[in-house]
A and B are shown apart, each in its own frame.
Chain A
Amino acid sequence: MRWLSTIAIILAFVVFFGCEKTPTLEAPNVSYTVSPSDSGGTLELSWDEVTDADGYIIYADGAVIDTVTTISYDATTPAALYEVSAYAGDQESDKDQIDCGAVETASLIVYGSGDTASTHPSGFGFNASHVAVAYAISDSTNWPYIDYWIHSVSSSVQEFASPSQAGYNSEVNTTQNSQQTNYDAVTICAKPGNYTAPTTINANAVYYFWIDPNDDGWGASNDYFGKIQVLGVNGYQITLKIAYQPIAGLRWCVTP
C-alpha cells in the first residue's frame, strides 16, 4: 500500500511539472532617433516593453555595454552596430539591431582642378548606396551629383571645396581637419563650428566632412557626416579613403 502511495505522489509530480514549457521571451523591436541636443552625437534607442522581461541588455559592436530596466537608451559611444535583447532571469531573447556603421569607399582617386587633363575627375559625390564616386567637373551633367571638388591653389597645394563655391550646385558642404592621422581612431566627427571650405589637403590627415545641402545648420533630415583620409598626394593627384554615415544627422563614423 505504501509503495502505491509513493507511485501516486510521483505520478502527481509528473503530471504537474512534466509538461511545463519555458515561455519564449520575445526580442524587443528597437527604433532610433538622432539627438539634436548635441548635434547628432547621440543615438536615442527605444523599444516597446517585452512581456515578462526583467530588463534589457545593450550591446555595442557585440560587447555588452549596459543593462537597463527602462525601454529607452541614449547611445553615446560610437559604434557600427547597436543591439538590444530582453532578459528574464537567466533567459535572454534574440537581439534586435540598429546598423549605424559608416559605409567605406576604400580608395578614390581625384585630381586638383588645375590638372590639365580634362577627363581627370576633380569632383566626388555619394551615390544611393553611400559610396563615393568621382566626377569630371568638365562635364556639366555631373554637377548635380558633386558633393566636394578639389580646388588647386597651385600644382602642390590642393583644397577640399564646396560645390557652391564654383556654382556646380547649391550645396554648402564643408570639411575640418581632425588633426589625426589614425583613420580608425576617428569615430565621431566634430560638432559644427569649425568646418570650413576650402580646406587645405595634407597627406595622411583625416578630415571630418559635413554635407549640409540647404546650408541651414545641423539637422537630422538631410545633413550627413563622415570622414576622409588622404592616403596620398602626388602633384594634382589625390587618393582618398572615405567613410559616409548613412543615418542623417549622426556624426558617428565607425566602419564595421
Chain B
Amino acid sequence: MKKLATLLVIAIALVVIGCQAPQNVVTTEQLDAAKAEISALKTQVTNLQAALDSLTANYNAHLEKYHKGAAKIPSGGKPPSGGLKPIQK
C-alpha cells in the first residue's frame, strides 16, 4: 500500500511538472513555426513589392493617360486672362 501511495505522489509530481510551460526553452515546433512565419513574411514582402510596382505602373499610366493625352496646350504657357467658362457637376 505504501508503495502504491509513493507511486501516486510521484505520478502527481510528474504531471504537475510536465504541465508547466517550458521557460527559456525553444522547442522544435516553435522553431518550425518561426521558420514558417519568416517564410510567410518573405512572401508578403515579395507580394508587397509586386503590388508597389503595379501601383507605380498604374500611377504612371494614369499620368500618361489623363494628364498628357488630350491636353490642349495654351499658347505661350499663359493662363486665360478673362473669365473662365464655368463648370458645375
Q: Which residues of A contact B (CB under 8 A)?
A: 1, 4, 7-8, 10-11, 14-15, 18-19, 113, 122, 128, 137-140, 143-146, 149, 151, 153, 159, 161-162, 165-172, 174, 192-198, 210, 212-215, 217, 222
Q: Which of A14, A161, A192 contacts B84 (CB 8 A)?
A: A161
Residue pair B66, A169 in contact (C-beta under 8 Å): yes
**Binding site secondary structure of chain A:** loop
User: Which of under 10, 10 to 19, 20 to 34, or 35 or more describes the interface residues of B?
Assistant: 20 to 34
Q: Which of A140, A161, A170, A210 contacts B66 (CB 8 A)?
A: A170
- Hey, which chain B residues are within 8 Å of A167, CB to CB? 71-74
Q: Nearest chain-A residue to B15 (Cβ)?
A: A14
In the bound complex, CA of A137 to CA of B4 (Å): 96
Nearest CB of B to A98, in Å: 16
Does any Cβ of A come within 8 Å of B44's Cβ?
A: no
Residue pair A217, B89 in contact (C-beta under 8 Å): yes
- Hey, which chain B residues are within 8 Å of A19, CB to CB? 18-19
Residue pair A172, B74 in contact (C-beta under 8 Å): no
Does any Cβ of A come within 8 Å of B5's Cβ?
A: yes
Residue pair B87, A18 in contact (C-beta under 8 Å): no
Q: Which of A11, A149, A171, A174 contacts B89 (CB 8 A)?
A: A174
- Hey, which chain A residues are within 8 Å of B35, CB to CB? none
Q: Given A4-B5, A10-B12, A144–B87 Cβ distance below 8 Å? A: no
Nearest CB of B to A22, in Å: 13
Q: Which residues of B contact A (CB under 8 A)?
A: 1, 4-5, 8-9, 11-12, 15-16, 18-19, 56, 59, 62-63, 66-74, 77, 79-80, 83-89
Nearest CB of B to A251, in Å: 14
Q: Given A171-B66, A213-B66, A217-B89, A165–B12 Cβ distance below 8 Å? A: no
Nearest CB of A to B43, in Å: 15
In the bound complex, CA of A215 to CA of B4 (Å): 89
Q: Which of B15, B67, B84, B88 contacts A194 (CB 8 A)?
A: B88
Q: Given A11-B15, A128-B56, A171-B66, A165–B87 Cβ distance below 8 Å? A: yes
Q: Nearest chain-B residue to A218 (Cβ)?
A: B89
Q: Given A149-B79, A166-B79, A171–B9 Cβ distance below 8 Å? A: no
- Hey, which chain B residues are within 8 Å of A213, CB to CB? 62, 66-67
Q: Which of B62, B67, B87 contacts A143 (CB 8 A)?
A: B67
In the bound complex, CA of A113 to CA of B77 (Å): 11
- Hey, which chain A residues are within 8 Å of B1, CB to CB? 1, 4
In the bound complex, CA of A19 to CA of B16 (Å): 9
Nearest CB of A to B40, in Å: 13
Residue pair B5, A195 in contact (C-beta under 8 Å): no
Q: Given A15-B15, A167-B71, A7–B8 Cβ distance below 8 Å? A: yes
Residue pair A166, B80 in contact (C-beta under 8 Å): yes
